[in-house]
Structure 1
């Protein structure tokens, strides 16, 4: 209930201030596990992604945010969970995988940090590993534009990447890197389609 209420308000503000438009939302499965992998250009990326679709999105968020009074409690109630940056956080990985096994949507920004130039930075393979372990399709997402008031910004959802063919062998780093490369290429392609 809280999530829906906040989403209605956030959706109105995003429409008003950033004139956002979405394309490709039909690619998001209506039910079952799915990982949304998106490029990262602003602190507003998570709420923008959340208001763009009807399904509730559970985000990995840097652990420091959960120590901020009020904000930490709020984002936790909205479904976010902490991840410690700079090291492999097994607890966060387990939490994400369990959410997928329970049929939820998990949103991840594989760059790990915002791009100050708008150019895509290196993608970590953790998101792909989570999708593989959770046996969930990956929907690549491109946020195109800049978060400047009254300047249009677009969220483009690509076709799901089926991870099933990669599950024929033992899932490990090499497989996760292969899937990550596919995701990166798809997001680049989506950005190019919008002229970025």
Structure 2
């Protein structure tokens, strides 16, 4: 963020952006990028989908800049738009891939070169995807945000997901517990190693 942008209010930045100031646009993205990324990642199954929703969110801001009435509500507007764009894209993807996990599995890379480990990892990844898909939407969104943005504060997560700040820690614990239970029901890594021998 530029030194000048650090001290500008959101209303000033929005006015400068409306007049075509590229530096102001970069400052606006720098200030709000974390919360937008958290929201799109929470509602997107893959990084590629999140990136598409990210771009669509900023494009929507550029197209609707003149309609914003309250500059201080920009962060909320961006989160809402990011959520909508992500959900719209998710609906489109579900029509393309009924299982809904193809993209998640495609993102996982095995660079060990060991075929046996690669097969084991593939089965474990499939089980994890199955267990994860059985969680509630709210748990999936929370765990996605925490996995892709571990440095995000509870305040940022609260804004991105629309959750009460004080409920994030306990909810995370319940979601992880539920994920562990579902993974156990699908079988353990030891089960796979025994059958592979």
In the superposition, the TM-score normalised over structure 1's length comes to 0.26
Greater strand fraction, Structure 1 or Structure 2: 1
Which structure has more relative contact order (CA 8 Å, sep 6+)? It is 1
Tell me which structure has the larger Cα radius of gyration.
2
Greater helix fraction, Structure 1 or Structure 2: 2
